[in-house]
């Protein structure tokens, strides 16, 4: 096997050159391959055993494009390793729109969506929010791919000008190709690995310490695992949400452990808590699970249901006030969330439909030590969160503190009350000048107060103690100036 791996590396080195094979080189390659396969056969294996690769074999940390020169080596390499090389131009946002090139080596049988999931998981970006283009090796002749039609196609079925070579542009900013290209290195090590989910069919029963729960349907999947809607086997009217996380040997603690610790700490912070209640929890041989209060639609879903994809100003500001209350309660107990976004907030059900709940503490961090003193900031902190709503410090790999959660909260507030997608793509520029004026276009009645909130958050430092009351008062004034009240019915309450 070592000989075969060494041979494959030799092939890759040879492939970097466009020079034609000499008769001696051709004979050497042929002899090496035959000997490698013979060695493998003597060990009781066969060349087919090399094909038992996972759909996504690995993602290279090299950003140099692989050679796509000739099929003279490809035909030899494919005998040894059943792979396809996907070269990807990755369009992302960090202090401006930038580009990075990377390479993905995967099975020919993998689908386009599997390739896309691997790239997205490494980059902590939602695969469903990107555009994908096929292109030539010089990133030209671009053609957008309809993922609904082509996503399930195996890579070997996608037309290619070179054998075993595919080139894609994966655009998470949805601006390509209308902006100038700037290449920048991207730290893959700062991104989280894709999780392997535990999947259960409808009707599957999971027994906990306080009852048995029947899977009704899958609600969603995320970095931690999967969330299911379940009901109590003894009473079908009792509906809950169940989070399931696969056990991993290399991980010391379950991600759900952090979530459980936080939910227990903040449960009684307010009369109408912004944190879901714990019903049951447990672990099985291959997974951990948490049964909790079931909530309604996320703020992202509720906003997208609006005719113009935006909340009314009273609803947007009122909901933002509750979202900040949840963040404040979390900070009181020494935790920062680090991934605030509309998808991580949801409204309640029935008599709780006006209450906003904060969700998903998978990457939350304790920012104080055991003596409740702010920890000394690390020299460099890995990127955590969602690019669109991440703070400027997060983009710069600077240690995060409560003020960064507040900055993310501010971005998601703007996302709810304005249609200007560019808000999230000019984070630094929108602080001043003409772009600042355009930021609040259509929000004239609240422009002054919203500007003061942004200036206040920007004035905060790592060691600063956030004055949440000051922000609440400005939100109240902004709503009053708009001729409304924070207590007005929310948009989704009016629809009922």
Integer Cα distance of 43 and 463 in angstroms: 62
CA dihedral 258, 261, 267, 269 (to 10 degrees): -90
Question: What DSSP string runs through 238-277?
Answer: EEEEEEEEE--TT-SS-HHHHHHHHHHHHTTSSSS-SSPP
Q: Could you report how far apart the first and last alpha carbons of the chain are, in Å?
A: 65
CB 117 within 8 A of CB 127: yes
Which helix or strand (DSSP H or E) is residue 279 part of? strand 278-283
Which of 329, 339, 360, 415 is labelled catalytic? 339
Integer Cα distance of 357 and 350 in angstroms: 14
Partners of residue 290 on adjacent β-strands: 243, 281
Question: What DSSP string runs through 73-103?
Answer: HHHHHHHH--EEEEEEEEEEESSSEEEEEEE
Integer Cα distance of 187 and 63 in angstroms: 11
Place of tokens 């940390």: 61
CB 313 within 8 A of CB 446: yes
CB atoms within 10 A of CB 94: 18
Active site residue 467: no
CA geometry: angle at 264 spanning 261 and 267, to 5°?
140
CA geometry: angle at 181 spanning 175 and 184, to 5°?
110
Write the burial class of residue 151 (CB in 10 Å: 0-12 exposed, 13-18 middle, 19+ buried): middle
Q: Which residues are identified as catalytic?
A: 339
């Amino acid at each position: 096997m070592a000989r075969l791996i060494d041979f494959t590396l030799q092939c890759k080195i040879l492939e970097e050159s466009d020079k034609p094979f000499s008769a001696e080189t051709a004979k050497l390659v042929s002899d090496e391959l035959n000997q490698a396969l013979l060695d493998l056969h003597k060990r009781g294996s066969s060349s087919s055993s090399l094909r038992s690769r996972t759909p996504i074999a690995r993602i290279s940390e090299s950003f140099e494009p692989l050679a796509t020169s000739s099929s003279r080596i490809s035909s030899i390499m494919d005998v040894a390793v059943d792979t396809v090389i996907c070269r990807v131009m990755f369009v992302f946002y960090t202090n401006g729109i930038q580009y990075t090139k990377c390479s993905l080596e995967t099975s020919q049988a993998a689908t386009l969506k599997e390739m896309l999931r691997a790239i997205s998981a490494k980059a902590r970006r939602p695969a469903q929010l990107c555009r994908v283009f096929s292109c030539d090796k010089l990133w030209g002749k671009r053609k957008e791919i309809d993922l609904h039609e082509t996503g399930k196609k195996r890579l070997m079925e996608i037309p290619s000008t070179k054998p075993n070579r595919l080139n894609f542009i994966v655009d998470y900013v949805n601006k390509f190709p209308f902006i100038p290209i700037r290449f920048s290195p991207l730290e893959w090590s700062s991104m989280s690995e894709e999780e392997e989910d535990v999947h259960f069919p409808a009707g599957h029963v999971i027994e906990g310490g306080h009852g048995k729960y029947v899977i009704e349907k899958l609600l969603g999947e995320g970095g931690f695992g999967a969330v299911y809607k379940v009901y109590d086997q003894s009473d079908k009217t009792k509906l809950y949400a169940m989070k399931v996380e696969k056990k991993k040997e290399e991980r010391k603690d379950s991600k759900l452990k952090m979530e459980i610790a936080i939910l227990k700490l903040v449960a009684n912070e307010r009369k109408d808590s912004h944190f879901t209640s714990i019903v049951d929890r447990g672990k099985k041989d291959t997974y951990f699970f948490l049964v909790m209060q079931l909530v309604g639609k996320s703020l992202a879903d509720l906003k997208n249901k609006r005719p113009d994809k935006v909340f009314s100003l009273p609803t947007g500001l009122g909901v933002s006030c509750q979202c900040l209350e949840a963040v404040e309660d979390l900070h009181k107990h020494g935790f920062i969330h680090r991934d605030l976004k509309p998808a991580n907030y949801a409204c309640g059900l029935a008599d709780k439909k006006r209450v906003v709940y904060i969700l998903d503490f998978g990457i939350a961090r304790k920012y104080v030590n055991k003596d409740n003193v702010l920890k000394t900031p690390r020299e460099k902190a890995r990127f955590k969160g969602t690019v669109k709503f991440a703070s400027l410090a997060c983009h710069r790999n600077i240690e995060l503190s409560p003020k960064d959660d507040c900055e993310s909260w501010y971005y998601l507030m703007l996302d709810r009350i304005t249609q200007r997608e560019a808000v999230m793509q000019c984070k630094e520029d929108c602080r001043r000048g003409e772009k600042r004026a355009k930021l609040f276009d259509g929000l004239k009645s609240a422009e002054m107060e919203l500007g003061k909130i942004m200036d206040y958050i920007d004035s905060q430092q790592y060691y600063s103690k956030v004055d949440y009351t000051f922000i609440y008062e400005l939100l109240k004034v902004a709503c009053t100036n708009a001729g409304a009240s924070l207590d007005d019915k929310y948009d989704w309450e009016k629809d009922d």
